[in-house]
Chain A
Amino acid sequence: MSAVAGNIPSSAAAARLQNWRRGLYRFRQSWLSVVGLAIVVLLLVAAIAGPWLVPYPEHVAGGINTGARFKPPSAQHWFGTNELGQDVLSLVVAGSRVSLLAGLAVVTLAAIVGTVVGAVAGYVGRWVDEALMRFTDLMLTLPSLILAMAVAAALGPGIANMVFAIVLSWWPGFARLVRGEVMARKEEVYVQAARALGASAPRILFRHILPNIVSPIIVKASLDMGFAILTVASLGFVGIGVKPPTPEWGVLLSLARGYLPDYWWTAIFPGCAIFLAVFAFNLLGDGLRDVLDPRARR
């Protein structure tokens, strides 16, 4: 008896401690996502205002300076110069535009396609669901990078073709997520009420259910953003999709490969840019999940 009584305050203290720890933990989590957000904002600024910010805008446009080839990092060229004498810093900053734009396009389009497929499958059910989801599962078994490479190569160079190729293997993830969410919502009272009032299926789906499942879609999109940027850079690295002289991080890295180890700065800075962008979006995505999707909170 006394043991139990003695336990109560200590367990309450333990609970308080745990709560306090959890709060601290979450704070730190959000602190990291603030860092992620800061980097993402910087990247956005670079992507939007890049042409006015870079020290050598003429190099971004394809201009070369054969007199200044392979200059190591210095006050004039913070990131050094490449095999064409172009300022690496200017190219890396300009590369943010291609990466962010392509990444955003991939995630947005994949989210739209996936949402439509998943919503129809989840709401209509029966054989439509069965057919759409078996197809989705099959798409998920294909090696996504090889599929994207093959499609992008067949369609020819260009950012739009590359984005299309990546979206082709990207939407199934969204479809599965949305299907699950729609199925969970479609028997809820407000949906039944709408149905009883005679609302049509598309109206119920798009006006009543979808607005309620926007959060998980946004969370997934933000978590996917980093990997979409990574995929874009990967395609550039293997020489499919974006072609030089477009300053794209993967392209810059693959061009620099041939000049290792002597001219390491031509490779290290574009590589770090890819890492930083992916890292930032991962941090931001984690933070957004904690805020928008409390069920997934750890």
Chain B
Amino acid sequence: MLRYTLRRIVLLIPVLVGLSLLVFTISHLLPGDPVKLAAGPQATQADIDSLARELGMDKPLPVQYWNYATGLVRGDWGQSVLTRRPVWDDLKVFLPATLELVFAALAFAVIVGIPAGLLSGVYANRWPDYLSRVVSLGAISMPRFFLGLILQLVFAMALGWLPLGGRFPIIDEPPPALTGFLTIDALAAGQFGAFWVALQHLAMPAIAMSLSPLATITRMMRASTIEVLQQDYVLTERALGLSQKLIVFKYVLKNAMTSSLTVIGLYVGWLLGGTVLVETVFDWPGIGLYATKAIVSQDFMPVMGVTLAIGTIFILSNLVVDLLYGLLNPKVRYE
């Protein structure tokens, strides 16, 4: 196990190098002159040339890549033309907001999806099953940004129960930064009022984000419940007179752990890249909104930074899930 873990960690290095090379290559293949853009609309050709020299953009591409890659390791992820700040500093501000959104969405998906899938499986081909299946099929077909708009329309505009967007009221003092997750920071500081406010802001975007993982987890739980209930050992237990409820809790819920873990692992990276639309709708100050603004203004460094950050988290979360599988399920073998 330890050897396997170490080998997997060492194997990360070429993957991360490949990722940075890929991002670098794509950004240089695209039309558009980042130097010209950074120099501003009034810049003369001489200005642009001197800025290119300053940024090292006049050097051959392999040298540029080397400088970029070694910069990444040192924490120098380039400069945003738009915010005029280092990309790394921007990421430190925006990434926790997106991660909080993603984790809240996954938590919602697990909390709702496991009981829904369980009911579906236990009542297979009866009405609770149909209901949850139609809802989950609808959920994967529903555009997240459209659901977001409907939620806004109903809960913010019509009923006034929840804030329209944003992460925290601008006029209020946010809780002291600790994890960057406002809800957790508020709890850590004992500010329950702030926690409630942060949670209200989080609710709608998190629900809008949770659609796909919710549908997936419901389907997986349904399938595994049906499978487990058909196993011989469950038949034996039932023959011995154990109640259905006890059997479900004893065997089926055990599988819930692995299926939630799979979904979480599959979706962390995917949702990180998919927050763009929900963040746009709810004006959620995360990396999705940051990337969108940078893309629209052709600000290359932040786009590369966000892409790399998401790619890296995707790779890492896959690794963590693979390793956790072994801990949860002894049947998984490692070479």
A: which residues have CB within 8 A of B? 21, 24-25, 134, 138-139, 141-147, 149-151, 153-156, 226, 230, 233-234, 237-240, 253, 257, 260-261, 264, 267-268, 271, 274-275, 278-279, 282-283, 298
- Which residues of chain A have C-beta atoms less than 8 A from B315's C-beta? 141
Partner of B276, one of A134, A238, A283, A298: A238
Q: Which of B23, B272, B296 contacts A240 (CB 8 A)?
A: B296
Instruction: Tell me whether A141 and B314 are in contact in the complex, defined as CB-CB below 8 angstroms, given that A149-B292, A257-B149 are known contacts.
Output: yes
Report B-chain residues with C-beta under 8 Å of the C-beta of A274: 143, 146
Could you list 17 further interchain pairs (A-B, Cβ under 8 angstroms) beyond the known A141-B19, A239-B296?
A: A138-B19, A142-B22, A149-B276, A151-B26, A154-B31, A226-B141, A237-B145, A238-B292, A267-B149, A268-B150, A274-B143, A274-B146, A275-B146, A278-B142, A279-B141, A283-B137, A298-B223
Q: Which residues of B contact A134 (CB under 8 A)?
A: 18
Q: Which of A21, A147, A149, A226 contacts B26 (CB 8 A)?
A: A147
A139-B23 Cα distance, complex, nearest whole Å: 9
* Residue numbers in B under 8 Å from A264 (CB-CB): 153
Closest 7 CB pairs of A and B: A143-B273, A279-B141, A271-B146, A261-B157, A154-B30, A278-B141, A141-B311
Q: Judging by beta carbons under 8 Å apart, are A155 and B153 in contact?
A: no
Q: Judging by beta carbons under 8 Å apart, are B23 and A142 in contact? A: yes
Which of the four size classes fits the interface of chain B?
A: 35 or more
Contact B277 A141 (CB under 8 A): no
Let me know if B31 and A146 touch, CB within 8 A. no
B269 is an interface residue with CB less than 8 A from chain A: yes
The one of B22, B141, B274 in contact with A275, judged by C-beta atoms closer than 8 angstroms, is B141
CB-CB under 8 A from A146, the residues of chain B are 273, 276, 288, 291, 295, 303, 306-307, 310
> Quick one: given A25-B125, A275-B146, are A143 and B310 in contact (CB under 8 Å)?
yes
Encode contact with A along B132-161: 1 for CB under 8 Å, 0 otherwise: 000001101111011001101100011000
B residues with CB within 8 A of A: 15, 18-19, 22-23, 26-27, 30-32, 125, 137-138, 140-143, 145-146, 149-150, 152-153, 157-158, 223, 269, 272-274, 276-277, 280-281, 288, 291-292, 295-296, 298, 303, 306-307, 310-311, 314-315
Asked if B141 contacts A143 (CB within 8 A), the reply is: no
- Distance A150 CA – B273 CA, assembled complex (angstroms): 12
Contact of B125 among A21, A147, A275 (CB under 8 A): A21
- Can you list 22 pairs linking A and B with CB atoms under 8 Å apart? A134-B18, A138-B19, A141-B269, A142-B311, A143-B274, A143-B314, A144-B273, A145-B273, A145-B274, A146-B288, A150-B291, A150-B303, A154-B298, A230-B143, A234-B277, A239-B296, A253-B146, A271-B149, A275-B142, A282-B137, A282-B140, A282-B141
